[in-house]
Structure 1
Amino acid sequence: MQRAAQENPDLLVLKVEGAAVSWRELICRVNQVSNMLAGRGLGRGDKVAVLARSSIEYITVYLGSLQAGVCIVPLSGMASSTQLEGMLRDSGSQMLFASKATLDLISPFHGRIECLIEDGYIAFDFEADGWRGFEELMRGASDEDLIVDIQPEDAFNLIYSSGTTGVPKGIEQSHYMRYEHVIRFKAMGLDKGAVTMIATALYSNTTLVALLPTMALGGRVVLMPKFDTEEYLKLAEAERATHTMLVPVQYQRLLRFEKFDDFDLDSFEVKLSTSAPLRENVKRDALDRWPGKMIEIYGLTEGGIGTVLSATEFPDKLASVGKAGEGAEIRIITDEGLELPVGEIGEIVGRSGAMMTGYHGRQDLTDAMIWISPEGDKFYKSGDMGRLDEDGFLYLLDRKKDMILSGGFNIYAADIEAELIKHPSVSDVAVIAIPSDEWGETPLGLVVLENSAKDTEDDIKLWVNERLGKTQRVSAILLRNYLPRSTIGKILKRELRDEYLSQITN
């Protein structure tokens, strides 16, 4: 990034909510953060956390911490106060930077995190007792470059998984792993001249795998703290965006927006999607109506597993998530750890140059994720079920824990969802397992209809069951106004199951 700044110091490298900053200005502030941290005795092996709305200040702290050799811990505003307290203790973070938008989450545990240094609560955009202002903290800090002997294996960031109970797992990524991301995304054009639009949160790996390479390779980033369909399109048109990283639900909302075709999006060269499977019909719609290549990426924050589908190149493989990316290897295994041949369904495992150091402080969980191949190579287990076709394309079926066991048969929700979404009145769908006295478990379809649709639950059930195999047929369809999703667009099936079980219990 220092090299990119030297080559084009006046480039407005970052824009957030109308505020823009040049490389010259940003590097000056990054240096101040680095020197401030070093002045407080923080360096390699130490950690600082951020729980804040996306902003230029957030990214300044992110980069300044890295330059000082400090590991950054971006925390999710979707976690509970109890979970966040646990993450701070687990990480050993010594400072916490926050914005007004997240203050209510911090207040319940403010002042009782032992690992935070004295006056370690830093406020970006508010004043409150027990908090020190960010600008006050920066006052007097040197803006000279700080050179630290950072090693490839040093911790870059600690990203907590989106667990719903207890303290989520801390995924430690190294500087080498992030460097691998930069090299990988350079091949997708995220370099000089790129204008990358991002509308996901900074605690998400989805955001970081596009933002960091774009900046490091000399491009510009336009970041939306909160996604809005029309505002995204206006901004993309005005900024002449060339690249974007979005999650599937954002593509769905954009392509369904009634004014989508009114916007000039001809500047787009590549559109990227990750975090959850992008449905075949959405990929096809994007190919037909949105200029530029459409690329889907399947992988884990933990790394190891990585496939790439160029939908533009392989329009006959849109049901897949592509082939193993450069330097990656994918295999399919049984529950017993035996490798399966082409076409057989099993758990997806993978290895690549970009693999996490491990789960922070949890060697037991790290070990449980590893599969050793007959050749002695280390692979990471995905927890996803899938199969490879004869051309090496990977087809995702379900989370292993979400597989439906009905009457002795393995049923995959993804197969049923793929049929349901073809119904002209269905706009969104999820299939979950529910208890059955007769079969053990049985599939339940949860459906969101298009606004003008008049179909009943029985209409949808009859239609889809005529198209499914006998063992796949849904026991019922329930209509809903929406499906709960995480901030990166994953349908929260555990919430749906818990809600259903609570209703039938009551």
Structure 2
Amino acid sequence: MSPLHTGATATEAFRSAFQSFPERVALVLPDGGTWTYAELHQRVQRMARYLQSLGLERQQGLAVLTGNQPEALVVIIACAWLGLRQTALHPLGAEEDQAFVLQDAGIAALVVGAQHAERGAALKARGLVRHVLSLGPSPLGEDVIAASSAFDGAELPIAAQPEDIYRITYTGGTTGRSKGVVHRHRTTLTMLLQQLAGWEWPDELRFLIATPISHAGGAMVLPTLLRGGTLVLLDKYSPEAFLRAVQQQRITATFLVPTQIYGLLDHAGLADWDRSSLQYVLYGASPIAPARLAEAIERFGPIFGQLYGQAEAPMTIAYLRRDAHDLANLERLQSCGRPLLGNQVALLDREGREVAPGEVGELCVRGPLVMEGYLNRPDATAEAFAGDWLHTGDMARCDAHGYLYLVDRAKDMVITGGFNVYSSEVEACLALHPAVAQSAVIAVPDARWGEAVAAIVQLKPGAQASEQELADFVRERKGALHAPKQVWLEAELPVTPLGKIDKKSLRARFWGQQQRQVG
């Protein structure tokens, strides 16, 4: 492609922020100190020069295994400057999965947070990467923080090119070995423009990152900096730690996953903290029960905006505005919003034809937000891009006003006796019961019907309800087809490292080595 039309890089967006707001506070440190935009810029340049000194060259791979610490952001932005391919290992991931990612992505250097030194040592022993470095003092390897401080902080020329791979993000591997999702700078810039234009940012932006910067939390960094905002990183999330940070740092905006919102609502000390500064709560990454969302709006105010995306088309496929979170229209609370400008969205049947208005089809998307493809997986890429659409695997319907409603993941739909039951509908019904904190509805084997609806339920602290009571509650409101044939009460539902309910592990209890025969 001619340079006339190739566009810019994400790195230039970082540089624009540094140049625009040099004296503003970019980052609040764990000890209460701060870095200005100019100080963050200098640290990035020193880190970039240090990484260059190791012989790392444009489009080689660098992986990070860290928590939410300021120095990790320095490494990530330095990678962007040098045109390195970035890959994040989830801090709570399994060693085998992390080793697979290092090998599959062809990683040349791994930077490990000091708190993950033991895992870093295990990965180092496998001999998969040329450089294993420590983010802080540890016996693992050279401390990149100390080593980079000796280098010049003057600005380097940007090495990244518009068509370079910006990052490779690995999916959760819920249906087997995880896949590397390849994103060029195009994707990040598209997402950034849609975030800035489509989301509802407060004028005074103090953003609390309470989810891993290795995943969704990291997508909040660049738009915050481009708006001249201040970032506050929460390394270990808990309702108490979150509320303390909001009060002490006068946080105005944040991003949470639904399980975090449920935890806040059920936290006994919620009313003890000053939350008056909080103006905007983005949420997403998994479905939220409308009844619990209504409860959140009642307790926090009309400050919620829902984002919808996935690893293959991140964060900004669709958005539900704050004013659409209408307590007088509970059905609308089930929506993930309307497509954002720049995305084409269609609901397709199994033959690739658009379904009629109001009917359920697979949500498919095309546009510059979509990934380049899966690394080293041409067959999987071809399947995902069938018919020149990205097939998200999410089943959805669309109303007359253009609002999208996710009804299930294709693999989470229960097919019982030839009828489709969408787990999200049963979960939303269970959430209406005053004793239910959250639930997971899955398919279990059934000799007569092939699959049966089952529910694993977590009750609110101090609440009581029997399994039969909950099954009857759904039957009365949704009918016999949707009523769980089996209900289990558990103190806590399993979650993935990203905070989503882990339905894969729940299904494994019942299916074992047996494959689902339908769906």
- TM-score normalised by the shorter chain: which range applies? over 0.9
Offset at residue 497 of structure 1 (A): 1.4
Report if the CA contact (8 A) 2:69-2:235 is conserved.
Answer: yes
- The Cα offsets for residues 452-472 of structure 1, whole Å up to 9 and x where unpaired, read as 223221222222222223322
Amino acid paired to 1:278: I
Unaligned runs of 5+ in 1: 373-377
2:39 aligns with 25
1:3 aligns with 16
Cα distance change, pair 383–453 in 1 and its aligned pair in 2 (3 A): same
Structure 1 residues 26-35 or 95-104, which shifts more? 95-104
Unaligned runs of 5+ in 2: 1-13, 515-519
2:340 aligns with 325
Which residue among 389, 409, 413 is the counterpart of 1:399?
409
Report if the CA contact (8 A) 2:201-2:280 is conserved.
Answer: no
Offset at residue 192 of structure 1 (A): 6.9
2:56 aligns with 42
1:104 aligns with 118
2:382 aligns with 367
Distance between the aligned counterparts of 2:432 and 2:202, measured in 1? 38
Offset at residue 136 of structure 1 (A): 4.6
Distance between the aligned counterparts of 2:454 and 2:281, measured in 1? 33
Cα distance change, pair 7–333 in 1 and its aligned pair in 2 (3 A): closer
- Pairing 1:319-468 to 2, within 5 Å after superposition: 319-372=334-387, 378-468=388-478
Distance between the aligned counterparts of 2:352 and 2:249, measured in 1? 49
Report if the CA contact (8 A) 1:162-1:168 is conserved.
Answer: yes
2:251 aligns with 241
TM-score scaled by length of structure 1: 0.92
Cα distance change, pair 309–136 in 1 and its aligned pair in 2 (3 A): closer
Distance between the aligned counterparts of 1:95 and 1:270, measured in 2? 37
Cα distance change, pair 15–49 in 1 and its aligned pair in 2 (3 A): same
For the aligned residue pairs, the C-alpha RMSD in angstroms reads 2.2
Which residue among 90, 106, 116 is the counterpart of 1:92?
106
Report if the CA contact (8 A) 1:342-1:387 is conserved.
Answer: yes
Cα distance change, pair 195–203 in 1 and its aligned pair in 2 (3 A): same
Report if the CA contact (8 A) 1:358-1:366 is conserved.
Answer: yes
Offset at residue 371 of structure 1 (A): 3.5
Distance between the aligned counterparts of 1:210 and 1:27, measured in 2? 18
- The Cα offsets for residues 272-330 of structure 1, whole Å up to 9 and x where unpaired, read as 00111122123222322224531101111211771111243351211111111122222
Structure 1 residues 276-285 or 342-351, which shifts more? 276-285
Offset at residue 189 of structure 1 (A): 4.8
Report if the CA contact (8 A) 1:31-1:144 is conserved.
Answer: yes
Structure 1 residues 342-351 or 432-441, which shifts more? 342-351
- Pairing 1:122-141 to 2, within 5 Å after superposition: 122-128=133-139, 131-141=141-151
Runs of 4 or more above 6 Å deviation:
none
1:309 aligns with 320
Distance between the aligned counterparts of 1:134 and 1:286, measured in 2? 42
Distance between the aligned counterparts of 2:389 and 2:208, measured in 1? 33
1:57 aligns with 71
Cα distance change, pair 360–191 in 1 and its aligned pair in 2 (3 A): farther
Amino acid paired to 2:395: M
- The Cα offsets for residues 2-60 of structure 1, whole Å up to 9 and x where unpaired, read as 23223332322112423532222211110011122233332321111111122111110
Choose between structure 1 and 2 for higher RCO, CA contacts under 8 A separated by at least 6 residues: 2
Distance between the aligned counterparts of 2:302 and 2:384, measured in 1? 37
Paired residues in the alignment total: 494
TM-score scaled by length of structure 2: 0.90
Distance between the aligned counterparts of 2:203 and 2:463, measured in 1? 46
Question: Kindly, what percent of the aligned residue pairs are identical?
Answer: 28
Cα distance change, pair 189–424 in 1 and its aligned pair in 2 (3 A): closer
Structure 1 residues 183-192 or 405-414, which shifts more? 183-192
Offset at residue 135 of structure 1 (A): 3.5
2:209 matches 1:201 = no
- The Cα offsets for residues 108-146 of structure 1, whole Å up to 9 and x where unpaired, read as 3324334x22xx111113322x62222453253222211
